[in-house]
């Protein structure tokens, strides 16, 4: 089963996806980290962010992998070609670089192929911006998770404070989120839009546990429907 969680930056997708995966016993795939890793590699290699051929070459040839912290079944460490970039891809520099990187059609094509291969291997909660529309359009559960601009900015600032990386200036973070929203929503390839059959959840005034409960309930319904369908086919 695939549970697709899409939404804008700062909506809580990563936090919710990991919690849902842990509760259901699924694996979790953070597609945003994959695009961030490509952006990091491009900056490190001096590849211009408008050089689609160069970005595409990185996406096609670099190996992105995920690692586990001891005692935690969910992947929290990110590697590209064996180099750990877990913290390096969460900086303000990468926040600004990831939109033009992810907008490159050659990058999206290469990473979508990787994501589909990974997802074919079992039960996954997959979060990103085009999961339910492009990567896994037949996902059993599709959620479009959002929150107000202001709430998302506050969350990102708190997150950056906790991690000790990234900007902690609220106005700067808010402006960057809005810039990212505009770029993601207007790009020609795989823009940020909700799938027609996605369940929309606004987490602005909800506790995270409420959001997790709602998505897990959707998964339970989808699983029951799948079992009922399998039983009918067997008859």
Domain spans of the chain?
Answer: 2-234
Which residue has 């085009």 as its token pair? 130
Segment 97-138, tens digit of pLDDT: 998 998 899 999 999 998 998 888 889 999 988 899 999 999
pTM, 2 dp: 0.82
Quick check: 73 pLDDT over 60?
no
Q: Given this structure, which CATH class describes domain 2-234? A: alpha beta
Structure confidence at residue 153 (pLDDT): 94
Burial class of residue 120 in the structure, from the number of CB atoms within 10 Å of its CB (0-12 exposed, 13-18 middle, 19+ buried): exposed
Structure confidence at residue 70 (pLDDT): 67
- Report the distance separating Cα 109 and Cα 230, nearest Å: 33
Structure confidence at residue 235 (pLDDT): 58
Segment 199-228, tens digit of pLDDT: 999 999 888 999 999 999 999 999 888 777
Quick check: 234 pLDDT over 90?
no
């Amino acid at each position: 089963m695939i549970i697709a969680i899409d939404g804008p930056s700062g909506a809580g997708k990563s936090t919710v996806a990991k919690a849902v995966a842990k509760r259901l016993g699924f694996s979790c795939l953070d597609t945003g980290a994959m695009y961030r890793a490509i952006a990091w590699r491009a900056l490190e290699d001096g590849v211009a962010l408008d050089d689609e051929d160069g970005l595409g070459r990185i996406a096609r040839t670099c190996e992105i992998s995920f690692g586990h912290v001891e005692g935690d079944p969910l992947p929290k460490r990110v590697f590209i070609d064996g180099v750990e970039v877990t913290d390096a891809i969460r900086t303000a520099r990468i926040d600004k670089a990831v939109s033009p990187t992810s907008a490159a059609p050659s990058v999206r094509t290469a990473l979508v192929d990787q994501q589909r291969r990974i997802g074919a291997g079992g039960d996954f909660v997959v979060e990103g911006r085009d999961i339910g529309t492009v990567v896994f359009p037949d996902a059993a559960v599709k959620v479009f998770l959002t929150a107000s601009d202001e709430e998302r900015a506050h969350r990102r600032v708190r997150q950056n404070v906790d991690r000790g990386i990234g900007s902690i200036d609220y106005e700067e973070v808010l402006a960057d989120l809005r810039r990212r929203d505009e770029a993601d929503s207007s790009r020609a390839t795989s823009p940020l839009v909700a799938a027609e059959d996605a369940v929309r959840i606004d987490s602005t005034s909800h506790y995270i546990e409420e959001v997790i409960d709602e998505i897990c309930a959707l998964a339970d319904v989808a699983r029951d429907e799948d079992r009922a369908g399998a039983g009918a086919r067997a008859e």
